[in-house]
Amino acid sequence: DTEVTQTPKHLVMGMTNKKSLKCEQHMGHRAMYWYKQKAKKPPELMFVYSYEKLSINESVPSRFSPECPNSSLLNLHLHALQPEDSALYLCASSQGGDSYEQYFGPGTRLTVT
Amino acid sequence: GQSLEQPSEVTAVEGAIVQINCTYQTSGFYGLSWYQQHDGGAPTFLSYNGLDGLEETGRFSSFLSRSDSYGYLLLQELQMKDSASYFCAPRIDSYKLIFGSGTRLLVRP
């Protein structure tokens, strides 16, 4: 199984809502990532978890809160988002620190109204 | 800071060869990755150069020159399905990739 799955595929939320994005992989990978991608732009790294510990936070606003409940799961909790947060949110995983290949999920397309 | 340059768009005909160049200036450097992304799809890994030289994977090859801070992706025997965006992505530490702005490749019949 070389797949990263993400749910939901699409999400529309108001600025006062709280929602969560979910990511799962069963490849035994020990590093997991959240990226944000705006239309016609490259993916931008948000967070990295390594061995279930947060190792990189790219100065992301606190309205985005990541969580790694176990080595296969990664969540992104969303609260009080702004319309400019509308984007494709991509999850990725890799074997670990020595691995250069990242496997991406299909993403969650988020619209904030 | 980080600086990456790659062409914004390239057009080629089916069966041809195309080269997408990437120059970079980064605060750290482990190697250079290339990713492909179709419209509406996820980025998929194509190639990685950790050392100088050429890496070949089927119709795709990638080259790196560390001394010139330069790399390229070479796509041979172009097919319509190769129409996509291609990102060079220097790996600047164990986990961190910095994606370039992307090159949109259009393959025409």
> Are the Cβ atoms of B45 and A56 closer than 8 angstroms?
no
pLDDT of residue A2: 67
User: Is 80 exceeded by the pLDDT of residue A97?
Assistant: no
Chain B CA closest to residue A90: B42
Q: A1 pLDDT band (50/70/90 cuts)?
A: low
Q: Which two tokens stand for residue B101?
A: 């702005």
Average pLDDT over residues A84-105: 93
Exposure class string for A8-37: b at 16+ Cβ within 10 A, else e = eeebebeeeeebebbbbbeeebbbbbbbbb
Q: Name chain B contacts of A44, Cβ cutoff 8 Å.
A: 99
Query: In the prediction, which pLDDT does B1 show?
Result: 79
Helix (H) or strand (E) holding B35: strand B31-37
Chain A: closest CA distance from residue B27 (Å): 15
Q: What percentage of chain A carries pLDDT values higher than 70?
A: 97
Mean pLDDT for B8-17 is 98
Using a CB-CB cut-off of 8 Å, the residues of chain B touching A46 are: none
Pick A105's closest partner by Cβ from B31, B33, B42. Answer: B42
A99 pLDDT above the threshold of 90: no
The answer to whether the beta carbons of residues B86 and B105 sit under 8 Å apart is yes
Digit-coded pLDDT (tens) for B31-71: 999 999 999 999 999 999 999 999 999 999 999 999 999 99
Helices (H), B3-66: none
